[in-house]
Amino acid sequence: MKVRGIRGAITVDANEEQQILDATLEVLRAIVEENRVEPEDICSLFITVTQDLDATFPARAIRQMAGWELVPLMCSVEIPVKGGLEKCVRLMVLVNTDASQSEIRHVYLGDARKLRPDLTASGADVQS
């Protein structure tokens, strides 16, 4: 069994607590579903937000989920690169898995699809 990283990102419309919490859950649930992982499989989860999102800690949403109470979570602020995508929540989920790198399904939702067009169906331009 190996430790693999699963990336995910989503954007919100406004720096509002509920939008940030809802978006965090939406992208995490999509990652879990796409990769068929359970909280017990997760080593840790690292969450970043862009500097324009300071209404809440995204980890608060995850702490409310049944079975996720013991998963180590860490929040941080994304590097403020000029021209980078705004109002974005990013996740890096480290999981114990037998899946190969090519079997891992990364999830990019909303305008965050622009971050990795090679991993999304939209093929949008990369911004950061």
* Residues carrying an active site annotation: 7, 63, 75, 78, 90, 108, 116
User: What's the start-to-end Cα distance of the chain, in Å?
Assistant: 32
Burial class of residue 76 in the structure, from the number of CB atoms within 10 Å of its CB (0-12 exposed, 13-18 middle, 19+ buried) = exposed
Q: How far apart are CA 4 and CA 99, in angstroms?
A: 8
Q: What is the DSSP string of 34-60?
A: HHT--GGGEEEEEEEE-TT--SS-THH
Element (H, E) at 6: strand 2-11
